[in-house]
Structure 1
Amino acid sequence: MLFPTPQLMSDDDRVLAEIDAAREELRRTVRTAPPKLVDGLRRFLTADAVATSNSIEGFRVSTVDVADLADGEYDVDVSAENREETLAYQRMMTYIQSLHDAPDFEFGKGFLNALHWMLQGHRHSPRRPAGQWRRGPVHVTDARDPSIAAYTAPSADDVPGLMAELVDWLRDDDGAHPVVRAAMAHLHLVAIHPWADGNGRMSRSLQTLINARSGVLAPEFSSIEAWLGRPGNTWEYYRVLNARGATYQPDQDVHDWVRFNLVASHQQVQSVRRRMERSARTLELLETAAARDGWAERTVTALHDVALTGRIRRARYERAENLSRQQAQHDLRDLVDRDVLVPTGRTRARYYEPGPAFPEDALEAARTPFTLDDPYA
């Protein structure tokens, strides 16, 4: 038995309508925005989702380091374990992103286990198999006291039947709003806890995939994983999951879980829209500065990355502008000579940060915090 999808209230319907309107507006904005702005935002949002979702499980790598690892940079100052976890999750997320418009896509037990292997294959062992249902009990310990089981998942003997039921549910559209279905899929999977490890990230990724399959926004723009990974939101995430009980009890009202996810989806699309606006304003200021001070126009790509993320590596700039290594090095050296950038590190580990002549108005535009509204307030 799975959790029944709850009946929505009028406030929920209003919030869903606002999410739909905001996503449609964002879709139009993305289609007409400059490619370098959209590509940079896609890169940041993907890295941010990986960084924050992994952080929920205790693997802490900054968003900018995740972006560098995803770009193929090796000389990034992270532990071997964090590197492996980051790259595994990034590869799985990249695959999920590619499925958002796959015409012959279908959910299946094999598909879910294959995703799990992508995430956890590097940890595979006879005791904790990857890509296979768990063979024993699993307990989620209390974050405040690891000797206490906050949740005990269903028996391993029940997992195959529950997952068959979940796959049938995923294949059979019940007519619920995609945001609601995505939230329910997340809850079903995390409550069943079918694998020995990686269940939280798998559940959040499944939610991302269902949101993306709705066809409104690409997965980078519709995922709530980054929102869930913010510290205050993570505690609320645990709280609303813990409200389900210490054991598998699907015969209950989960309206509070759905409402929590509606707030997350509403605020995430607000966040993406604010980031888009901030990024566009930063790009405009940098283009003005480049024209005024005589920098090569293409260097705005590098400077835009620096303003928004704090740094740029030569290989990233080289690929973004389709330059030779010599051209990219020449441009960056020129910006260093002008005190616009300052280099940090040596050879392959080198990256570039804002220098004393970096346009201050662009940095201010990129770093100004924004506010998010509570749709139920």
Structure 2
Amino acid sequence: MLIPTPKLTASDSHVLADVDRMRAELRFELQSKPGKWAGGLRKFLTADAVAASNSIEGFRVSTVDVEDLIAGERDVEVSEENKAETLAYQQMMSYIQSLHDVDDFVYSQGFINALHWMLQGHRHTESRPAGQWRRGPVYVTDASDPRVAAYAAPGADEVPALMAQLVDWLNADDDAHPLVQAAMAHLNLVSIHPWADGNGRMSRSLQTLMIAREGVLAPEFSSIEAWLGRSRNTWEYYQVLGRRGNTYRPDQDAAEWIRFSLTAYHQQAQTVHARWVQSGRAWAMLEKFAAGMRLDERVVSALHDVAMSGRVRRTRYEQAEGLSLQQAQRDLRDLVAAGVLEPVGRTRARFYTKGSGYPLDVLEVAETPTTLEDPYRRH
């Protein structure tokens, strides 16, 4: 038996309507004002989702380091383990994003296991297989005492039947709102815990895929994984799941989970919109700055990376503008000579941060924190 979708309260419905409105407005802005900075924002949001979801599982790589790894940088100062986890998750996320508009897409147990192989294949062993249902018990241990099981998943013999039910449900027509369906898919998968490892990231990825398949926003703008990765939200994430008890009890009401998920959707929509606005303003200001300095307009993308991510690497700038290695090196060298950028490190590991001549008003725009509204306090 799967966990049934609860009936929405009046407050839930109001919050969900707010989320729909914000996402529709962002879609309109993306389509009507497709600024050049949108490409960089898509990459940032993907990297932020990867960094956040991995951080929940203890693999800590900053968003800017994830951006560099995705761009193909090899000299990023992260451990080999964290690099492997980042690149595996990014590969799976890229595939998920590519499925958002596939006409003949269907869910299957084989497809879900294939995603798991993409995520965990580099860790595959006989005792902890990737891309296959687990063969034994699995426990989520208590953070304060690893000898205590905070959650014991259903027995391994129950997993195939439960996953068959989940796949049937995923492919069936459902009256629930797609965002609610995605939240329930996350809850059901993480509760079944069908693999020896990687269950949390797979559950969050399934939710991301379902949101992307809804088709309202491009996949990069759809994930709530970055929101879940913030420390306070991660703590609440575990608290909400923990209050469901330490064994699989699908007969419990999932209303609290839906409220938590709708808050996540709402606040992530607020965050993405704020980032979109900041990115656009910073880009416009940097265009004026570059023109005033008589710099080539292409260097704006390098300066924009510094504003929004804190630094830029030659590889990312080269890829963003389609430049040769020599052109990218020359531009960055000229920006250093002008005092706009400052190099950090040597040779291939070098990156660039703001110099004394970098426009402070741009940094003020880019670094202004976003105040997030609790959507349930309005209803």
Which interval holds the TM-score relative to the shorter structure?
over 0.9
* Alpha-carbon shift at residue 335 of structure 1 (Å): 0.3
- Equivalent residue runs for 1:116-127 within 5 Å: 116-127=116-127
Which residue of 1 is the match for residue 278 of structure 2? Answer: 278
- What is aligned with 2:226? 226
User: What is the aligned residue count?
Assistant: 377
Cα distance, 1:169 vs. partner?
Answer: 0.4
CA distance in 2, matches of 1:332, 1:197: 43
User: Which deviations, in whole Å up to 9, do the C-alpha atoms of 1:210-240 show, x marking residues without a partner?
Assistant: 0111110112111100000000000000000
Query: Partner of 2:86 in structure 1?
Result: 86
Q: Which residue of 2 aligns with 1:44?
A: 44
CA contact (8 A) 2:51 2:61 kept: yes
Runs of at least 5 residues in structure 2 that lack an aligned partner in the other structure: none
Task: Tell me the CA shift for residue 346 of structure 1.
Answer: 1.6
SS of the aligned residue for 2:36 comes to helix
| RMSD after superposition | 0.8
Query: Matches of residues 46-85 of structure 1 in structure 2 within 5 Å?
Result: 46-85=46-85
Deviates more, 1:317-326 or 1:71-80: 317-326
Task: Provide the C-alpha distance between the structure 2 equivalents of 1:195 and 1:251, rounded to a whole number of angstroms.
Answer: 22
Distance between the aligned counterparts of 1:340 and 1:226, measured in 2? 31
Aligned sequence identity (%) = 67
What is the CA–CA distance in structure 2 between the aligned matches of 1:315 and 1:5, rounded to whole Å?
Answer: 46
User: What's the offset of the Cα at 1:326?
Assistant: 1.3
Match of 1:215 in 2: 215
User: 4+ residue runs of structure 1 moved beyond 3 angstroms?
Assistant: none
**2:35 and 2:280 in contact (8 A); partners too:** no
The match for 1:204 is: 204
Deviations for 1:154-193, whole angstroms, at most 9, x for unmatched residues? 0000000000000000000211001100000000000000
Q: Which residue in the other structure is 1:235 paired with?
A: 235
Structure 1 counterpart of 2:146, one-letter code? P
Q: Which residue matches 1:261?
A: 261
Contiguous gaps of at least 5 residues in structure 1: none
Aligned equivalent of 1:301: 301
Q: What one-letter code is carried by the residue in structure 1 that aligns with 2:272?
A: V
Q: Is the 8 A contact 2:52 2:225 kept in 1?
A: yes
After superposition, where does 1:300-339 map in structure 2 within 5 Å?
A: 300-339=300-339
> 1 CA distance for matches of 2:215 and 2:144?
40
The one-letter code sitting in structure 2 at the alignment partner of 1:316 is: R
1:23 corresponds to = 23
2: CA distance, partners of 1:158 / 1:174:
24
After the TM superposition, which residues 99-110 of structure 1 pair with which residues of structure 2 at under 5 Å, given as runs?
A: 99-110=99-110
Equivalent-residue separation in structure 1 for 2:100 and 2:219 (angstroms):
7
SS at match of 1:280: helix
**TM-score, normalised relative to structure 2:** 0.98
User: Within 2, Cα distance between the matches of 1:297 and 1:72?
Assistant: 25
- The alpha carbon displacement at 1:35 in A equals 4.2
* Deviates most, 74-83 or 339-348: 339-348
Structure 2 Cα separation of the partners of residues 69 and 35 of structure 1: 25
**Amino acid paired to 2:86:** T
Match of 2:33 in 1: 33
| In structure 2, distance between residues paired with 1:176 and 1:11 | 16
Residue type at the aligned position of 2:7: Q
Instruction: Look up the match of 2:190.
Output: 190
Q: 2:148 matched to which residue of 1?
A: 148
SS at 2:146's partner residue?
A: strand
Structure 1 position 373, deviation (Å): 0.5
Aligned-partner Cα distance in 2 for 1:23–1:283? 22
* TM-score normalised by structure 1 residue count: 0.99
